[in-house]
Amino acid sequence: MKKAIGINNRRDFFKKIGLSTASVLLPITSLNSMPLPALSRAPNQPNTPVNFIYDGLALTPQEYLEKLDQINKKQPIEPDFYGNGGATKLIEDAFRKITGKEKAIYLPTGTMANQLAIKLLNGNNTKVIVPENSHVFRDEADAAQSVHSKRLIPIGKGKPYFDVEDLKNTINYTNTNEVFKSGLGTIVIENPVRRADGTVVPIEKIKEISNYCKENNYKMHLDGARIHLASAFSNTSLLEYASYFDTVYISLYKYLNASGGAMLCGDADIIDKVAHQIKILGGTVYQSWSNTAMALYYLNGIEDRWSQVIQRSKTIISELNKIEGLRISSLKNGTNIYDLTLDTAINLKKLAIFLYDTYNIWLGRANEKGVVKFVINESLLTRDYKDIINAWIEGIEYARG
Ligand SMILES: Cc1ncc(COP(=O)(O)O)c(C=O)c1O
């Protein structure tokens, strides 16, 4: 009976992460745009999985409830009322401080945070310049055009990020090639860049763009869904990143482990207008404390934990790279995503199944080039790193031949 449950769980798991036979070679981008599956734990194994797939811990509903209970027992969670007060106010205060902005507000989604930031910063201007590979341009269902009457102009196609010269060229192009002038209001930067496997936009590039925008009176919005990762890997504080932008959005669920939610930070004259806009769009939620209390818990101490994640991952990666036939390489200006390749003598599916079944370690699928995106996160801190290394050594031996 137990065995049968185990097999079903396993099948379910590999189907969800895309390692079923049919989908081993699906591109990683489809995985990234897929909803986070409610994964079940492998039976009879350490409760907390070490996952090499997500930015965060991928908590199950049961773990989520237990964590909230633990948080509540330490200090009773105060509920908010339509976003006012309680845990939601606490997290708004926390984000205001860490970004150095006048105000911060909770929104139900990052998509709404991005869109409202653009709309409000732009005023009556119609044009917004956005990275071609950004969530705003590619993944927000043309909300800017269809809901907010803003025209998005993509920039930097084929590059991980654009620089100030690209920006000047794009502005010059529209200024000289369009007969009926309409205003450009806002420039958007995404950092780290999800579609470039978490590449950080170098701070010097941001500074140059910011100086140019200030001189020319353009506003700037940062899609910093995962800005803490950029900060941890580039040693640039959130305060510094935020200082170059008028508004900053940060996700509460990517690595802060809430089940959803977003923060938008900026000057009072913008942020004070956001609550009304959320209401108009039907996004005012009665209570959000289950998200904000959770994210606040994981926000506390995040810098220290990520510096430990980075230290530990360096040791793990350098040990794993000693295994014949396995190669984990970092990316230029990368954050928590690495490229893992295996010799043809090592069967990825066998390895992934072994790691999952025996050690509750999760590994993603290969993309069309045979590269597995090896993603590090705080789950590395839940196990002795030597155990993780040994599990891999065993798994590779098992998967050979
Ligand atoms: C870079 C980036 N920006 C914005 C979002 C949107 O966040 P949400 O799912 O909360 O709308 C995402 C989500 O995947 C993202 O990766």
- Tens digits of residue pLDDT in 92-125: 999 999 999 999 999 999 999 999 999 999 999 9
Which of the four CATH numbers 2.70.150.10, 3.60.15.10, 3.40.640.10, 3.40.250.10 does domain 77-299 have? 3.40.640.10
pLDDT band at 11 (very low <50, low <70, confident <90, very high): low
User: What distances in angstroms separate CA 63 from CA 26, 48, 259, one per listed residue?
Assistant: 29, 9, 12
- C-beta 223 within 6 A of ligand 1: yes
How far, in Å, is the centroid of ligand 1 from the Cα of 254?
8
Angle between helices 385-399 and 302-320 (to 10 degrees): 40
* 2-65+303-399: CATH topology: Aspartate Aminotransferase, domain 1 (3.90.1150)
Closest-CA residue to 230 (of 266, 255, 213, 262): 255
- Tell me what the mean pLDDT of segment 364-389 comes to: 96
Q: Which of 115, 135, 255 to mutate to test the pocket of ligand 1 (most atoms within 8 A of CB)?
A: 135
pLDDT band at 371 (very low <50, low <70, confident <90, very high): very high
- C-beta 190 within 6 A of ligand 1: yes
pLDDT confidence of residue 14: 59
Average the pLDDT over each of 28-42, 218-232, 306-320 and give the range with the smallest value.
28-42
Atom of ligand 1 lying closest to residue 111 CA: 11
pLDDT confidence of residue 48: 85
pLDDT band at 74 (very low <50, low <70, confident <90, very high): very high
- C-beta 225 within 6 A of ligand 1: yes
Report pLDDT digits (tens) over 250-260: 999 999 999 99
Domain boundary assignment for the chain = 2-65+303-399, 77-299
pLDDT confidence of residue 331: 97
Closest-CA residue to 287 (of 91, 83, 76, 105): 83
How far, in Å, is the centroid of ligand 1 from the Cα of 222?
12
In the predicted structure, residue 20 carries a pLDDT above the cut 90: no
pLDDT confidence of residue 180: 87
- Tell me what the mean pLDDT of segment 52-71 comes to: 96
Residues with Cβ within 8 Å of 142's Cβ and at least 6 positions away in sequence, in order, are: none
pLDDT band at 60 (very low <50, low <70, confident <90, very high): very high
Closest residue by CA, ligand 1 atom 4 = 110
CB atoms near residue 228 (< 10 Å): 26
Strand ranges for 87-126 from DSSP E: 103-107
- As a whole-number percent, the residues of the chain with pLDDT over 90 amount to 87
How far, in Å, is the centroid of ligand 1 from the Cα of 117?
14
How far, in Å, is the centroid of ligand 1 from the Cα of 225?
6
Residues with Cβ within 8 Å of 305's Cβ and at least 6 positions away in sequence, in order, are: 378, 381
In the predicted structure, residue 196 carries a pLDDT above the cut 50: yes
Q: Answer for the pair 260, 291: CB distance below 8 angstroms, yes or no.
A: yes
Q: What is the mean pLDDT of the chain?
A: 91
Report pLDDT digits (tens) over 147-179: 999 999 999 999 999 999 999 999 999 999 998
CB atoms near residue 43 (< 10 Å): 15
- C-beta 262 within 6 A of ligand 1: yes
Average the pLDDT over each of 36-40, 70-74, 269-273 and give the range with the smallest value.
36-40
> Looking at the DSSP assignment, which residues form a beta bridge with residue 127?
151, 184
b vs e for 370-386, b when ≥16 Cβ sit within 10 Å of the residue's Cβ?
A: ebbbbbbbbbbeebebe
